[in-house]
Amino acid sequence: MRKMISSLILIFLFTPILLRAQSGDDYKTASEIADYKYIGTFGLDKMDKILGPELDAYMHGSPLPAEEYRGKFEKPKYPVKLYRVRYKSVIPEFGNQPITATGLVAVPETGTKTMPVLSYQHGTVFSKYEVPSHPDSTSEVKLMLATFGAQGYIVVGADYFGLGESDLPNSYLVKEASEQACLDMLIAAGDVLVDLGIERGDLFLHGWSQGGWTTMSFLRKLEELNITVKAAAVASAPVDAFGTINRWLNNWQPGDAIYLPGCGSNFFFSHEYYNNLPDLAKRAIKPEYYQVAKDFYEFKIDFKELVSKTPVKTPDMFNDEFRVTGDIGTEPFWKMLEEMQAYRWRIKTPLRTYYGEADEVVPVYIALLPENWHKLLGSGDTKAVNAGPKADHRGTYIYSSLHPPKWFSTFK
């Protein structure tokens, strides 16, 4: 990682300043690596709507009873100013190739100079712009702004490579690229805040689903770099990629999410590209579904069209010959998945991992691995928190949005 950071610094020093050339008059330069522009403010009325009718609409169809969350969030205290950030980064998988990525810095209008920072890692999206830098397009990010931003936290979020304004392929669940996107976004956010005359307080982390895994992987890198994180929370985090993907492909259950085939195919395309695994997607996906899956990965069709042209059961979309390679798991693809685990280290940071018993994406077994691992080691403050028997994937996220702010406040 230190080699990665050193390479990044060299790139910043000796690469022409591309950001200024690309950004246009509406962006302001914060540093050699970051520029930003104001894109709006979420006022208190907007925050109330996010926690009221918009939340009800988002949770439509979830088995989690509304009384579990309706009216239980803290009343929003502060409007939040939103800034889209464009920053320099590198792709570790491509020998630290320099690129430009995007993300969000959201600053609450508290009237104070120093505020705590929440780095939020977003979950799986099937739209290129359903990301933090376009906050009004994503209910997930809006909820973070209403629950953390409106309570006085600066909220920072990377879009990830291939999403937002990035012209790269989607780096879906790619380990080092995801870590780098978040790390460099955090650095860029610091430069933006300095330019705004704001000082950063304590750092906290949170993430859901894909973002739960990303948060865990990012946390390990931050601890490796001796960057202090006060506390972290994750929800429905697939911390064991080998187990999660193998379960999706080979042990379908009636309650599995309808979007798992799309998650799986996107996973194969992203790792074929970023981890140099030629023809991985063709080996994995049945020929009759390959082109529609590729179009979906490239954002040429939407999720509705994908569902209309692919099976409901995840195993039915993928080649039997490929699926059985997970039995032994010695092929390069499965070995790579083993290296993606995001829980097997002695975590120093206080951590809460939220899970739901009705989660249709991440099995309870997977969600409990961090707590059980640390019980085995006899170390750390890592605890699993049950969101309840009716908490599905979204319900677990809602529960993890409701409770961590109170826990985080004990560290201030």
Residue 13 covered by a domain: no
Both 253 and 230 in a single domain?
Answer: no
- List b or e across 388-400, with b for residues whose CB sees 16 or more CB atoms inside 10 angstroms: beebbbbbbbbbb
Domain stop point among 338, 354, 389: 338
Q: Quote the CA–CA distance of 326 and 212 in Å, as a whole number.
A: 24
**What is the model's pLDDT at position 23?**
42
Both 326 and 361 in a single domain?
Answer: no
Both 197 and 261 in a single domain?
Answer: no
CATH code for the domain in which residue 142 is found: 3.40.50.1820
Full DSSP string of 181-214: HHHHHHHHHHHHHHHTT-EEEEEEEEEETHHHHH
Both 32 and 97 in a single domain?
Answer: yes
Q: Quote the CA–CA distance of 346 and 91 in Å, as a whole number.
A: 27
Which structure tokens are listed for 4?
A: 């990665």
The total of other beta-carbon atoms located within 10 Å of residue 229's CB is: 20
**For residue 66, what are the domain limits?**
28-240+346-410
Q: Are 401 and 147 in contact (CB under 8 A)?
A: yes
pLDDT tens per residue across all 412 residues of the chain: 444 444 444 444 334 334 443 444 599 999 999 999 999 999 999 999 999 999 999 999 999 999 899 999 999 999 999 999 999 999 999 999 999 999 999 999 999 999 999 999 999 999 999 999 999 999 999 999 999 999 999 999 999 999 999 999 999 999 999 999 999 999 999 999 999 999 999 999 999 999 999 999 999 999 999 999 999 999 999 999 999 999 999 999 999 999 999 999 999 999 999 999 999 999 999 999 999 999 999 999 999 999 999 999 999 999 999 999 999 999 999 999 999 999 999 999 999 999 999 999 999 999 999 999 999 999 889 999 999 999 999 999 999 999 999 999 999 7
Both 82 and 132 in a single domain?
Answer: yes
Residue 256 covered by a domain: yes
Domain stop point among 321, 338, 355: 338
Both 109 and 251 in a single domain?
Answer: no
How far separated are the first and last CA of the chain, in Å rounded?
Answer: 29
Residue 15 covered by a domain: no
Instruction: Identify the sign of the CA torsion 204, 210, 214, 216.
Output: positive
Give the count of domains, the chain. Answer: 2
Residue 122 covered by a domain: yes
Both 365 and 259 in a single domain?
Answer: no
Its pTM surpasses 0.85: yes
Please, how many CA atoms are within 13 Å of residue 65, restricted to the half-sphere of its CB?
Answer: 4
Domain stop point among 338, 367, 394: 338
**What is the model's pLDDT at position 17?**
38
**What is the model's pLDDT at position 25?**
53
Q: What are phi and psi of 374, to 5 degrees?
A: -75, -25
CATH code for the domain in which residue 275 is found: 1.10.260
Residue 19 covered by a domain: no
Q: Quote the CA–CA distance of 229 and 350 in Å, as a whole number.
A: 9
Both 166 and 314 in a single domain?
Answer: no
**What is the model's pLDDT at position 175?**
98
Q: What are phi and psi of 145, to 5 degrees?
A: -65, -35
User: 397: closest CA among 239, 210, 218?
Assistant: 210
Both 219 and 81 in a single domain?
Answer: yes
Between CA 161 and CA 127, with CA 28 as vertex, the angle to 5 degrees is 30
Both 255 and 389 in a single domain?
Answer: no
Contacts with 137 (C-beta within 8 Å, 6 or more apart), sequence order: 127, 129, 130, 131
Residue 393 covered by a domain: yes
Coil, helix or strand for 101?
strand
Residue 149 covered by a domain: yes
Which structure tokens are listed for 406?
A: 């109170």
- E-assigned strand segments in 43-113: 80-91, 97-108
Q: Are 98 and 88 in contact (CB under 8 A)?
A: yes
**What is the model's pLDDT at position 379?**
82
